[in-house]
Structure 1
Amino acid sequence: MSATARLTAFLRAAAPRFDDHDSDIARDISRTLQVMRPNAPALAPAILGACAPLPDMLDGARDALTQRLAACLGDLHWRVAGFGKLAPDTDQKLAVVELIGPTGMFAHPHLRIGLLIQREEFHYPRHQHAAEELYFILKGTADWAVDDHPHSPRLPGDFVHHASLQPHGMITRGEPMLAMWGWTGDIDGASYST
């Protein structure tokens, strides 16, 4: 099976998961994942230090979504998160894949959809961006803070929704966290700030 076929299978498997969240952004993500007809990925596979726990996290995956993700791990183009606005050594603790989007593996002008890996014992500082954002946690647990509220745990299967310019941050404790995310609205990363 080709990289395109493996990645397409993963994207198709993810689409119905977003149907479980009653929001416009979830519907946009689900619809895009269902109708994407990707050509070959525009970006070659790349990996960062933050990705080290992924094989163990996905080993023995039981549900169709994580099985398909495990099958395409070697096809993903991981990059440093934060649009260059986080500490230089962050790539050892935090990384993202833009699967679909303006600078993604598969081009899309109005939406970004991707993955995030956050290593254990890492504090992703409060940040904000103009894009509306929705996370779907695949594996692991993170303590999430939105606005000025205290951090609270989010588990696999949970959604976390951020409005445009709403401050948020995440802390992992004893295990890494893997999540799928989507951006809609003003998806230009220039507004990203900590």
Structure 2
Amino acid sequence: MPLDDPRIRFTTALVEELRGRAREDIALLPFLAPLIQGMRDGFDDTPADAPNPPPPTFAETLPQVAVSAPLAECLPDMARLTSWKTVLSEHPDVDPALQKGMYAAHVYGALGIMGCERLRGGFFTLAPNIHYPLHTHVAAELYFCLSGALTLHHGVDGDPFELTAGGYSITPRERAHSLTTGDAPVLLYFAWVGDFTAPIFWWEKDEAGSWYRAQWLRGATGIWERGTREPVAEDLIAAQTLNRD
């Protein structure tokens, strides 16, 4: 790819953003190293879907983008090159506002426009005033906030913390976490490292105080589809209890 290709310009700017933060936080290195390797050795071609336009929330986030100018300038071109899809399929147990309020566009990996075996990453938009319930997945996850602000919880009893534009959070593998937006839409760069094929589990507590988890499987198009529901074992609940006496 030539250096003026929007995909290379975006990756170069993203690497520079993350590299600066990685000097203070080595936990970023697993998300950064595959991009550096791709810039050095080249990214594989992938049979990505034809571009699909972003949701209206993407354009709404652009005036509030708070990252370096080189990275911000790449976002409109990258949005046009990628294929935007809802994150979740429709299901009776899913709030329609949530199902219609989250979109993702993969840039890196098998579902993206730049092949990368060790990482999947791209854009994630969340509409205002939605809640993505407590969930777990095997892969570790990076959220780099490009625009807006949201509140995160880790564990079944974790204290809330805010992620704002220019900041990032890392969710360790199999750590339960949830996301809640405020009155403005949010634009994230997300990245996964680890097992990309394992299901996601949504955690929920019934009125009696018992925990259950519902399985979600990624379909052939990349959209997550609801599966079976089962009780959560006590040892799993204990592992997700962060505030211990």
Quick check: TM above 0.5?
yes
Shift of 1:17: 1.6
Give structure 2 stretches of 5+ with no counterpart. Answer: 203-245
Give a deviation string over 1:113-162, Cα, whole Å, max 9, x none. 11110111111111110001111111000011111213222111111111
Task: For 1:46-61, list aligned pairs within 5 A.
Answer: 46-47=52-53, 51-59=55-63
Shift of 1:60: 8.4
Task: Check whether the contact 1:15–1:29 (CA below 8 A) recurs between aligned residues.
Answer: no
- Comparing 76-85 with 92-101, greater Cα deviation is found at 76-85
Q: What's the RMSD between the two structures over aligned residues? A: 2.6
Give a deviation string over 1:66-99, Cα, whole Å, max 9, x none. 1111232211211222588883844420011121
Give structure 1 stretches of 5+ with no counterpart. Answer: none
Is the aligned partner of 1:66 residue 2:72?
Answer: yes
Q: 1:87 aligns with which of 94, 107, 118?
A: 94
What is the TM-score with the length of structure 2 in the denominator? 0.68
Take 1:13 and 1:82, find their aligned partners in 2: how far apart are those partners? Answer: 30
Is the aligned partner of 1:103 residue 2:107?
Answer: no
Partner of 1:117: 125
Partner of 1:27: 29
Partner of 2:194: 185
Partner of 2:211: none
Partner of 2:175: 166
Q: Go from structure 1 to structure 2 and tell me whether the alpha carbon gap of 1:40 and 1:59 turns closer, same or farther (over 3 Å shift).
A: farther
- Comparing 59-68 with 77-86, greater Cα deviation is found at 77-86
The amino acid that maps onto 2:32 is: S
Take 2:167 and 2:63, find their aligned partners in 1: how far apart are those partners? Answer: 21
Take 2:77 and 2:159, find their aligned partners in 1: how far apart are those partners? Answer: 37
Seq. identity, %:
21
Q: Go from structure 1 to structure 2 and tell me whether the alpha carbon gap of 1:118 and 1:10 turns closer, same or farther (over 3 Å shift).
A: same
Take 2:76 and 2:152, find their aligned partners in 1: how far apart are those partners? Answer: 25
Take 1:125 and 1:193, find their aligned partners in 2: how far apart are those partners? Answer: 10
- Comparing 153-162 with 59-68, greater Cα deviation is found at 59-68
Shift of 1:33: 2.3
Greater C-alpha Rg: 2
The amino acid that maps onto 1:12 is: T
Take 2:62 and 2:29, find their aligned partners in 1: how far apart are those partners? Answer: 26
Query: Which of structures 1 and 2 has the larger relative contact order (alpha carbons within 8 angstroms, sep 6+)?
Result: 1
